[in-house]
């Protein structure tokens, strides 16, 4: 009974979080127009820090690093009048912080008719030379994030049923205080998390699969919370970093471990644990599904 109560509570929390961050769509007709290829460039306005918020109900989002002088350059491809992006930028704290918010516009309606009649694709290039708090909300579709070398001070990614692919191939030059990923039914494939330079990370998934790769240039310890509902979870951890993985509330999950041993019940460690100067601690709470641990 206690286990059932836990999972009901987790599901309610996840739905509440998604409801508060992703706009609730309405079913209304949409206006199809000739395809638009809109390009927008935003300067950093002499700011020392930036807060970038991206709000996309559907269908495709790509984010990449850039060495250009502008804070952000966006390319927006769409053929629905109501989906024209709403772009706002403002300065705060005497110009020290610039805040950019890009939303899908007033048209958050669910398309009626054939879905292949509509398209909406964003490509966002972010400046590598300024600290950024990055907040992404994605409803449905696909999200491809390349955050390699970006100066990320905070990262928050929330998705409903969108599939997420994320890579960090270069180290974050500044410490990231927290990273959060929240998904409803989408699938997550994330690589290079060891380059994120974070203190704490929370990854919450509903019914989708997770493939999480924690390899990278580790310079300090970190704590990760993984909360999975139903689906396959794969954790890939570096063999040169001390790793301790603890499981709790795993009523129906199976665990397969490669390169890690079960130290005590529901606690797995790799060969570098207790020896390497850096320790990665991962706490996993999982429901129904299979869990694979790989130290490589």
Determine the 3-state secondary structure of 194 from DSSP: helix
Chain mean pLDDT for the chain: 87
| Count of beta carbons in the 10 Å neighbourhood of residue 119 | 15
96: left (phi > 0), else alpha (psi -120 to 50), else beta? alpha
Comparing 69-78, 90-99, 159-168, 197-206, which segment has the lowest mean pLDDT?
90-99
Residues 62-105: pLDDT tens digits? Answer: 999 999 999 999 999 999 998 999 999 999 877 899 999 999 87
The b/e string for 6-37 (b: 16+ C-beta within 10 A; e otherwise) is: ebeebeeebeeebeebbeebeeeebeeeeeee
Q: Please write the tens of the pLDDT for every residue from 94-145.
A: 789 999 999 987 655 555 555 678 889 999 999 999 999 999 999 889 999 9
Q: Write down the pTM of the prediction.
A: 0.88
With a pLDDT cut of 90, the percent of the chain lying above it is 68
Please, is 142 exposed, middle or buried when counting C-beta atoms within 10 Å of its C-beta (0-12, 13-18, 19+)? middle
Write the pLDDT tens digit of every residue in 31-46.
889 999 999 999 998 8
Q: Are strands 252-258 and 233-237 parallel, antiparallel or unpaired?
A: unpaired
Does residue 1 have a pLDDT over 70? no
3-state class (DSSP) for residue 21: helix
Residues 232-270: b if buried by 16+ CB within 10 A, e if exposed: ebbbbbbbbbbbbbebebbeebebebeebeeeeeeebbb
Q: Once rounded to an integer, what is the mean pLDDT over residues 154-178?
A: 95
Residue 23 predicted with pLDDT over 60:
no
């Amino acid at each position: 009974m206690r286990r059932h109560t836990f999972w009901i509570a987790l599901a309610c929390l996840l739905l509440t979080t998604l409801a508060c961050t992703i706009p609730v769509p309405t079913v209304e007709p949409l206006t199809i127009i000739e395809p638009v290829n809109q390009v927008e460039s935003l300067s950093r306005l002499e700011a020392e820090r930036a807060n970038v918020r991206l709000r996309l109900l559907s269908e495709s989002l790509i984010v990449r690093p850039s060495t250009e002088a502008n804070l952000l350059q966006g390319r927006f491809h769409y053929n629905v009048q109501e989906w024209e992006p709403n772009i706002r930028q403002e300065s705060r704290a005497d110009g020290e912080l610039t805040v950019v918010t890009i939303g899908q516009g007033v048209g958050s309606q669910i398309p009626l008719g054939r879905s292949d009649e509509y398209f909406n694709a964003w490509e966002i290039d972010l400046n590598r030379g300024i600290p950024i708090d990055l907040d992404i909300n994605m409803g449905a579709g696909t999200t491809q994030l390349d955050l390699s070398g970006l100066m990320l001070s905070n990262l928050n990614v929330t998705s409903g049923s969108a599939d997420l692919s994320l890579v960090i191939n270069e180290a974050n030059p500044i410490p990231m205080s927290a990273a959060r990923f929240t998904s409803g039914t989408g699938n997550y494939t994330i690589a290079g998390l060891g380059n994120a330079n974070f203190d704490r990370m929370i990854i919450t998934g509903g019914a989708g699969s997770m493939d999480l790769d924690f390899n990278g240039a580790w310079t300090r310890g970190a704590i990760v919370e993984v909360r999975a509902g139903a689906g396959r979870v794969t954790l890939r951890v570096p063999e040169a970093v001390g790793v301790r993985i603890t499981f709790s509330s795993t009523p129906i999950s199976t665990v397969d471990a490669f390169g890690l041993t079960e130290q005590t019940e529901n606690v797995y460690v790799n060969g570098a644990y207790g020896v390497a100067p850096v320790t990665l601690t991962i706490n996993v709470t999982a429901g129904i599904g299979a869990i694979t641990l790989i130290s490589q």
